[in-house]
Structure 1
């Protein structure tokens, strides 16, 4: 498996920066998985300078961002003729106030991951969550240090979907209804929340109790309301099925929710495509079964 890797300057500027917190928690998992990391220049150099991933053959250096390093990762997510330059997704630890996080290549990296159903991981929590998920799906034993990411009883889950993706969200919820029902609470924006409630009631959920707490619709500010919960650490996981092909009038609100997730990088996870959400659900179910043995 090969993943692109980049981190904004803040996230490798000190010994306790986000990039290093993630590596300290997950270096053994990276080695167990044989995960190749195609790292943009400054990120790669910071890892080497910190003495991390020493001897790991999968760590590969790319040019600095200003020299096209991130652009190369975008092309590799799409896929190139050289099989060694095809990425399975990207880990991009984002500082939401760093202007480079809004550069065209940064936006394109996420968009192409979503289009091709590949993981786009933008927070420390999501990166730790994903490594453990892939370890479990590879048949490795659960890491107790990752338990907090896989216990839905203590988490609030946001379920958000653009219009064209609402059928995919309903299908995801129907397939994984029991798992999603274990969360302490579910929240969602207007129309998506109503449709999910109707699905839950049809599955026997008490008719006088909403399965999803509904906020306003996205264009009326629902994304902003959920972003506030994320910032206050009252929402730990967001499943946000985005339609990357349609211009949205409330694009600023969508970006607000995404920026909120990256602001609390150690505490929030965002999943942005049905393929990745299904893989996450499979990992959670398998891990819980293993922990129950």
Structure 2
């Protein structure tokens, strides 16, 4: 067990914990060993905590910590703990909130605030089964442990498509991220991007020796003109497995509905898609992959 345990907020909409084969339990079956090895503290909203105990998951594990029910402020407390710790304890390292895209509670203010504060503070906000499984692998690698053999297939990018999207204030950071991890991102079978971001990334690739007759990324329309919706469609068709979306949480966005559409699409195909929503999180993911040697 590592000296300073990781601390994650944990919640799941009803769909993801009401049956034994629901996403929450698939995640725990895939990651229980890693959770125990790393001593990950799971600060868990009441109903989600009750479901874990009902299914006999993580028996006797002291790192499973119960918070109030959502209606009693449990999710609100997670938001506060993402922003800062209490009693000389560090803030949460991120939040795992397995979202059912048609559950009304997924757009309650506390749910939206949890995501926004994770992005603001550079912490992972993980809302899909595939993302939750992979992030435990990321933390495992950063802790100096080898990649779990059962998860190696998810790090095989030769048959995967990656979407790269960034808001205006973060386009320079997206280009810098791509420059720093160009070889890794080039391992994907295909890359797609919205308009302006795609143009900048293609110029970067050509400057790095990528053949000029080939686009490094396939460009869709700009976000406000429908690019987010176009990428959402290929996510829904299971033709795009990963989204790196540098969101600016500090500005009003006229095409907010399109952004939410893309995020909703990722959550519909929760078992195969993941989304990183800030430069800090994307870099931590990329560094782990590069360190893993896969």
TM-score by length of 2: 0.97
1:233 and 2:238 correspond: yes
**How far does the alpha carbon of each residue in 1:185-218 deviate from its partner, in whole angstroms, 9 at most, with x for none?**
0000000000000010111110111000000000
Per the alignment, residue 143 of structure 1 pairs with 148
Query: Structure 1 CA distance, aligned partners of 2:9 and 2:272?
Result: 22
* Contact 2:85 2:92 (8 Å CA) reproduced: no
Per the alignment, residue 125 of structure 1 pairs with 130
Query: After the TM superposition, which parts of structure 1 deviate over 3 Å for at least 4 consecutive aligned residues?
Result: none
1:135 aligned counterpart, secondary structure:
helix
Per the alignment, residue 91 of structure 1 pairs with 96
Per the alignment, residue 66 of structure 1 pairs with 71
**How far does the alpha carbon of each residue in 1:71-117 deviate from its partner, in whole angstroms, 9 at most, with x for none?**
00000000034234721110000000000000000000000000000
Residues 129 and 22 (structure 1), Cα distance of their counterparts in 2 relative to 1, 3 Å cut: same
Query: Structure 2 CA distance, aligned partners of 1:138 and 1:154?
Result: 28
Instruction: Select 1:216's aligned residue among 196, 217, 221.
Output: 221
Query: Structure 1 CA distance, aligned partners of 2:258 and 2:100?
Result: 18
* Contact 2:8 2:95 (8 Å CA) reproduced: yes
**How far does the alpha carbon of each residue in 1:247-277 deviate from its partner, in whole angstroms, 9 at most, with x for none?**
1000000000000000000000100111111
Query: Structure 1 CA distance, aligned partners of 2:212 and 2:174?
Result: 21
1:243 aligned counterpart, secondary structure:
coil
Instruction: Select 1:134's aligned residue among 133, 139, 153.
Output: 139
Alignment of 1:19-30 (within 5 A): 19-30=24-35
1:110 aligned counterpart, secondary structure:
helix
TM-score by length of 1: 0.97
1:170 and 2:183 correspond: no
Query: Structure 2 CA distance, aligned partners of 1:286 and 1:84?
Result: 29
* Contact 2:162 2:240 (8 Å CA) reproduced: yes
RMSD, matched Cα: 0.9
Per the alignment, residue 42 of structure 1 pairs with 47
* Contact 2:201 2:217 (8 Å CA) reproduced: yes
Per the alignment, residue 258 of structure 2 pairs with 253
- Once structures 1 and 2 are overlaid, which stretch shifts more, 257-266 or 132-141? 132-141
Query: Structure 1 CA distance, aligned partners of 2:147 and 2:80?
Result: 34
**How far does the alpha carbon of each residue in 1:142-186 deviate from its partner, in whole angstroms, 9 at most, with x for none?**
211111221111110000000001011000000000110111000
2:49 aligned counterpart, secondary structure:
helix
Query: Structure 2 CA distance, aligned partners of 1:229 and 1:82?
Result: 46
The gaps in structure 2 that reach 5 residues or longer are 1-5
Query: Structure 1 CA distance, aligned partners of 2:287 and 2:173?
Result: 17
Per the alignment, residue 116 of structure 1 pairs with 121
2:51 aligned counterpart, secondary structure:
helix
